[in-house]
Amino acid sequence: MSVTTPSGEAYTTNASGQNHGFALTSLTFLFFIWGFITCLNDILIPHLKNVFDLSYTQASLIQFCFFGAYFLVSLPAGLLVRRAGYQRGIVIGLLIAASGCVLFYPAASTQTYSLFLGALFVLAAGITILQVAANPYVTALGRAETASSRLSMTQAFNSLGTTIAPWFGGLMIMGAVTAAAGTAEHKLQEAQAVQIPYLMLAAALLVLAVVFAKLNLPTVSEHHVDEKVNADPGSAWQYSHLVLGALGIFVYVGGEVSIGSYLVNFMGEPHIAGMPEAQAAAYLSYYWGGAMVGRFIGAAVMQKISAGKVLAFNAVAAALLVVVAIVGSGQLAMWSLLAVGLFNSIMFPTIFSLAVTGLGRFTSNGSGVLCAAIVGGALVPVLQAVLADTIGLQLSFIVPVFCYVYICYYGLVGSKIKQPQI
């Protein structure tokens, strides 16, 4: 059986006759697990901030190291996926991510912040390879017109992971400490509380690696381009909608991660909700759960309305909600910021699918460029952390507002495809 990829190339199933449904079902497990792992950073930030008595800027290094890996690893990952194929790239990514999870054990035992940061970098390097391989794979498994809808649907399971993770982290990490606060035993228990959860994640990733190594998934023929074609001039960078889309990914991930990173501390502010960290961590599920619900809704809406218009609408709504959180207080401010997750929902998959549309043989390289732009999750939270340490946490949320303004522009203008000049 053959169909057409977004680049117009032939797509064929393998001899065993596996279909799109089976391949997409397999990939949803990946979206779930990396969403789960990424969201645990929102628990690690306030947790390790207490363990090591960090400022907001110092604690922001957690996201800096995690998302910094996307910048350093994404382009090499694109080359890896181009040579090895999507399926083998997924297996390699899972094995590297599992190694990063295992490193949390010695980091906690020695109570070494730098080792925690190193473990996060290795873990993120594996997830980067998964992102580079899985996102374009999903867009290729079906019609180009419904690529945004299809990627939004699979990303909804990524959001299921991010919805469950705060509850899991609050229970297994923040709720695991029994010693009196401020004592040496309390600090040790806080540090070691991450060991069992991350060993569990390592085991799950290894099982997935074995499963994907054994699966007989469809092959996208873009990987089998002859050397003569590869010698043709041109590059992914000549597509303006890709370059502008990369900036869209940068500011989107930066804005989303900034909000998620500081929500627990925001809800702990006396004039907002005054919640203890363990209780506030549970409320993070509303933020990420909104993204999950929104992706299911968005997948249906974008069957009827153009992806660019839906993206712009959501960006405006998210910006207005953050403004309310900045100028408001109490429950209004808290729930306004939590509600942003609903409108974040379709942004990443929509920007991604709009940006890779029409790239042809440059699709895997374009995917690497877009995943490199996820470095916004490393840099934007640091910018907000510096502002939080200087002008206050609540006012620092002006940073995500500017991010959403650009996303609105990309949805309406920047995502339009222009013929590259070679």
User: How much is the pTM?
Assistant: 0.76
pLDDT band at residue 232 under the 50/70/90 scheme: very low
Most confident of the following: 135-144, 175-184, 236-245, 290-299: 236-245
The residues, any chain, with a CB within 8 Å of residue 59's CB and separated by 6 or more, are: 45, 46, 48, 49, 385
Residue type, 83: R
d(CA 73, CA 253): 17
- Residue 228, pLDDT > 50, answer no
pLDDT at position 19 over 60: no
Q: Which structure tokens are listed for 101?
A: 């999870």
Residue 314, pLDDT > 60, answer yes
Percent of the chain at pLDDT > 90 equals: 40
Phi, psi of 10 (to 5 degrees): -70, 140
Q: What is the mean pLDDT of the chain?
A: 83
pLDDT number for residue 230: 44
Burial of 370 (0-12, 13-18, 19+ CB in 10 A): buried
Q: Each residue of 155-206: pLDDT tens digit?
A: 777 778 888 888 888 888 876 555 445 566 666 777 788 899 999 999 999 9
| Per-residue pLDDT, 6 | 31
315-361 pLDDT, tens digit per residue, is 999 999 999 999 999 999 999 999 999 999 889 889 988 998 888 77
Give the pLDDT of residue 181: 57
Residue 4, SS3?
strand
HSE-up (13 A, CA, CB side) for residue 108 = 23
pLDDT at 2 > cutoff 80: no
Q: What is the pLDDT of residue 390?
A: 95
37-64 average pLDDT score: 89
Q: Is the pLDDT of residue 106 over 60?
A: yes
Tell me whether residue 11 is exposed, middle or buried, using C-beta atoms within 10 angstroms of its C-beta: 0 to 12, 13 to 18, 19 or more.
buried
**Residue range 9-14: mean pLDDT, rounded:** 37
Q: What is the pLDDT of residue 224?
A: 42
**Distance, C-alpha 36 to centroid of its chain:** 10
Count Cβ neighbours within 10 Å for each residue of 176-191 and write b for 16 or more, e otherwise.
bbeeeeeeeebbbbbb
* Residue range 252-279: mean pLDDT, rounded: 92
pLDDT at 370 over 50: yes
Sheet containing strand 219-220, strands side by side: 2-4, 10-12, 219-220
Distance CA 370, CA 351 (A): 9
Nearest CA to 360 among 250, 238, 217? 238
pLDDT value at 366 more than 90: no
Supply the pLDDT for residue 247.
Answer: 96
pLDDT for position 382: 95
- Given a cut of 60, is residue 421 above it in pLDDT? no
Q: What is the mean pLDDT of residues 245-266?
A: 94
Query: Which of 400, 353, 293, 328 is CA-nearest to residue 147?
Result: 353
The top-scoring range by mean pLDDT among 20-34, 83-97, 186-200 is: 83-97
Q: Tell me: pLDDT of 220 over 70.
A: no
Rounded to whole angstroms, the Cα distance separating 106 from 286 reads 32
